[in-house]
Amino acid sequence: MTRSSFLLLDANIVIQLFKSGAWQQFVANAQIQIARTVLGEAHYFENDHGERVDFDLNVYVAAGVVDVVEVGLRELEGFLNQFDQSYAEKLDPGEAESLAYLMKAPLETRICSADAIVFRVLGNLDRGEQGLSLEEALDEAGLGRKLPSQFCRKFRSD
Is 118 in contact with 93 (CB distance < 8 Å)?
Answer: no
Tell me what percent of the residues of the chain surpass a pLDDT of 70: 97
What does the pLDDT average to over 67-86?
93
| 1, pLDDT greater than 50 | no
What does the pLDDT average to over 17-27?
93
Tell me the per-residue pLDDT of 39-65, one tens digit each, with 9 for 90 and over: 998 999 999 999 999 999 999 999 999
Tell me the per-residue pLDDT of 80-89, one tens digit each, with 9 for 90 and over: 999 988 888 9
Tell me the per-residue pLDDT of 91-148, one tens digit each, with 9 for 90 and over: 999 999 999 999 999 888 999 999 999 999 999 999 999 999 999 999 988 888 889 9
Per the structure, the count of domains in the chain is 1
Question: How distant, in Å, are the alpha carbons of 12, 13, 137, 152, 158 from that of 149?
Answer: 13, 13, 14, 5, 11
Q: What is the predicted pLDDT for the residue at 144?
A: 84
| 2, pLDDT greater than 70 | no
Q: Residue 131's domain is classified under what CATH number?
A: 3.40.50.1010
Question: What rounded mean pLDDT belongs to the chain?
Answer: 90
Alpha carbon 150 to chain centroid, angstroms: 13
C-alpha–C-alpha distance, residues 98 and 8, integer Å: 8
- Regarding pTM above 0.75, the answer is yes
What domain range is 70 assigned to? 4-157
